[in-house]
Amino acid sequence: MRSHCGINGVTQFGDQGFISATLLRHGALLHWQDILPSAWFLEFSYLDKINPAIANNSYDKSVRVCYSLGYPKFPQWPDLPIVRAHWHVDQ
């Protein structure tokens, strides 16, 4: 675990890096994106900017997984139709 937690200036993606490395050593690393239809996945943000397809509500409605890389994080998501329809954030 030490090699994945930033000790001695080494950053290896924390717990996710540890899990991925462990699964790879056992030959069992699959990603949902590799086995499910790509149309099911939608990235919410691109480097601190909202995905334009989400901002104007034109994304493919067959999406099943909406994920965020970077910012905004889930509690900071703006008031958009997809957010109102699927997430409740306690303020």
| SS3 state of residue 50 | strand
Say how far apart CA 31 and CA 27 lie, in whole Å.
13
Q: What angle do CA 44, 48, 53 make, to 5 degrees?
A: 35
Give 10-21 pLDDT, tens digit per residue.
Answer: 556 677 777 777
Q: How far apart are CA 29 and CA 82, in angstroms?
A: 30
For the chain, give the percent of residues with pLDDT over 90: 3
- pLDDT tens, residue by residue, 24-48: 787 776 778 788 998 899 888 877 7
pTM beyond 0.85? no
Q: Where are the domains of the chain?
A: 1-30, 31-91
Q: Quick one: pLDDT at residue 58?
A: 92
